[in-house]
Amino acid sequence: MKINVSNIPAGSFWTAMTLITFVFSLQPLFIRGQYYKHFTGEIEGGLKLSMDIISEGKMVHGHYYYFFHDHDESGALRTGKIIPLSGTATDNGFSVSEFSEGISVFTIECAVNDTCSGTWKQKDEKKPLSVILTEDYSDGSIPLCLQQIKKQHPLHPGAGSPVALFEALLLWACEGSGALAGPVNHAVMDLLSADEETENPASAGDKIGNAFINSYILATEGIENMENASSFNWENKYNMAVVCNENGLLSLRFDKYVFTGGAHGLTMSNFVNISLTDGRPLTEDDIFIEDYSTVLEQLLNNKLRKMNGIQEGEWLSSSGFFVDTISNPGRFYINHSGIGFIYNVYEIAPYSTGVTELFFTFDELQAILKPGFPGLINRKD
């Protein structure tokens, strides 16, 4: 797969595809509901879209990327980077913008058969272009169910009391996913560290929330002094997001935030990458050739140095890192462009540095990828 858009002429229609607002007018099923949807579509002129959207009711977020084939003999595939989307629900749909800014607008209405049509219009252009979007799980993707859970418990009755708050946004394979539902949901349960007796991810989230509230009750039993009340505002938040859901791959992100007093809370991230051919979680051994470790760690160290302007021969520790050589974190996601590796806070650097993410295109990893692996997820008909 060639991830290259450098040959697109500046000022062309394609380069205008930045900072976009999507406005959808949808059927009542979508309105201010909680759901996940995978869309594919096309803008007049041949620019195709792949989009993943999560609605939490009032809040809507997700991402999209565009792709097209050259009109010459090569027919080479050109794709854009993944672009985050965020916005809010409206009375008859929702509006989401790239990077919270809107220069171009999609106005879409959806029919009962899940086929959506409308227009795309740049902010300063008079003529809109037609758009078609379809909720689509035919390209090796899978429908996902979404559930939000919220539990809270005040330290004392009355206004102003410290509170323990548990919130979760969970995704899992719906019953209509057939044979894939079992293995996909088992992988999600492992991600949540759920016990074997738990029936599904939703019940796992419920149990986790109850355990957190019970821990708060035990830890604060008998406390009457409210001078340092803020330290008793506990939070535990679970959030899942779709990284990729197409062409036979499901990549899910899981973020966990915990605050139980102290200077600040702590966020930890993890991922699961699942083959939608057989429901099997993918490991690095499925992706890379034998004896890949040394090369991969060199690539990781070189990328970290480049991102932070650290020259060869300089110590990483001189730039605030805990170590002078980083190892493979064993924590990664896959999307249509490549593979990203995540180091959580305190893993290689202090809290102030935040999460460290090192992303590689498939071309950058070509030397250690198994032959044909990118074909799993970059197939576009």
pLDDT tens per residue across span 158-179 = 788 899 999 999 999 988 788 8
Number of independent structural domains in the chain: 3
198 and 125, same structural domain?
no
252 and 177, same structural domain?
yes
340 and 260, same structural domain?
no
Token pair for 158:
């009355």
Instruction: Taking residues 293-306, report their average pLDDT.
Output: 97
Instruction: Taking residues 62-76, report their average pLDDT.
Output: 78
160 and 129, same structural domain?
no
The rounded distance, in Å, linking the Cα atoms of 295 and 110 is 48
CA distances from 192 to 105, 172, 239, 271 (A): 37, 11, 10, 11
158 located within any domain: yes
In this predicted structure, the answer to whether residue 102 has a pLDDT above a threshold of 70 is no
Q: What is the maximum span of the chain, computed from C-alpha positions, in angstroms?
A: 77
In this predicted structure, the answer to whether residue 2 has a pLDDT above a threshold of 50 is no
Highest mean pLDDT among 49-53, 113-117, 128-132, 196-200: 49-53
8 located within any domain: no
Token pair for 88:
């809010």
Token pair for 106:
């999609």
Tell me phi and psi for residue 374, to 5 degrees.
-55, -25
CATH code of 238's domain: 3.30.565.40
Helix axes 201-219, 181-191, angle to 10 degrees: 20
358 and 310, same structural domain?
yes
In this predicted structure, the answer to whether residue 313 has a pLDDT above a threshold of 80 is yes
In this predicted structure, the answer to whether residue 124 has a pLDDT above a threshold of 60 is yes
217 and 111, same structural domain?
no
In this predicted structure, the answer to whether residue 12 has a pLDDT above a threshold of 60 is no
Return the DSSP state at 325.
Answer: S
Q: What is the CA radius of gyration of the chain?
A: 23
The rounded distance, in Å, linking the Cα atoms of 212 and 104 is 44
What average pLDDT does the chain have? 83
Instruction: Taking residues 52-70, report their average pLDDT.
Output: 87
Write out the residue range of the structural domain in which residue 115 sits. 20-135
10 located within any domain: no
232 located within any domain: yes
Q: Check if the beta carbon of residue 362 is closer than 8 Å to that of residue 3.
A: yes
381 located within any domain: no
Instruction: Taking residues 57-71, report their average pLDDT.
Output: 84
11 located within any domain: no
Q: Check if the beta carbon of residue 280 is closer than 8 Å to that of residue 190.
A: no
Among 275, 295, 319, where does a domain finish?
A: 275
Own/partner contacts of 185-190, CB < 8 Å, gap of 24 or more, are 187/272, 187/274, 187/279, 187/281, 188/240, 188/252, 188/272, 190/272, 190/281
The rounded distance, in Å, linking the Cα atoms of 202 and 141 is 21
The rounded distance, in Å, linking the Cα atoms of 59 and 320 is 37
CA atoms within 13 A on the CB side of 4: 9
222 and 105, same structural domain?
no
Among 275, 299, 320, where does a domain finish?
A: 275
In this predicted structure, the answer to whether residue 97 has a pLDDT above a threshold of 60 is yes
In this predicted structure, the answer to whether residue 11 has a pLDDT above a threshold of 60 is no
Lowest mean pLDDT among 19-28, 74-83, 295-304: 19-28
Q: Tell me how many helices (H) and strands (E) the chain has.
A: 4, 18
173 and 76, same structural domain?
no
289 and 261, same structural domain?
no
Tens digits of per-residue pLDDT, 29-49?
A: 344 578 899 999 998 988 899
Highest mean pLDDT among 310-314, 332-336, 370-374: 332-336
Among 228, 244, 275, where does a domain finish?
A: 275
What's at 380, amino acid-wise?
Answer: K
307 located within any domain: yes
56 and 152, same structural domain?
no
CATH code of 337's domain: 3.90.640.20
Note the pLDDT of residue 251.
Answer: 97
Note the pLDDT of residue 28.
Answer: 34
Note the pLDDT of residue 131.
Answer: 81
In this predicted structure, the answer to whether residue 185 has a pLDDT above a threshold of 90 is yes
Banded model confidence at residue 13, pLDDT cuts 50, 70, 90: very low
Q: Which stretches does DSSP call E strand in the chain?
A: 20-25, 34-43, 47-56, 59-69, 77-79, 83-90, 93-98, 104-110, 115-122, 129-135, 144-154, 163-173, 234-246, 249-259, 266-275, 332-334, 338-343, 356-361
Lowest mean pLDDT among 42-51, 227-236, 242-251: 227-236
Handedness of CA 369, 373, 375, 378 (dihedral sign): negative
6 located within any domain: no
153 and 117, same structural domain?
no
231 and 294, same structural domain?
no
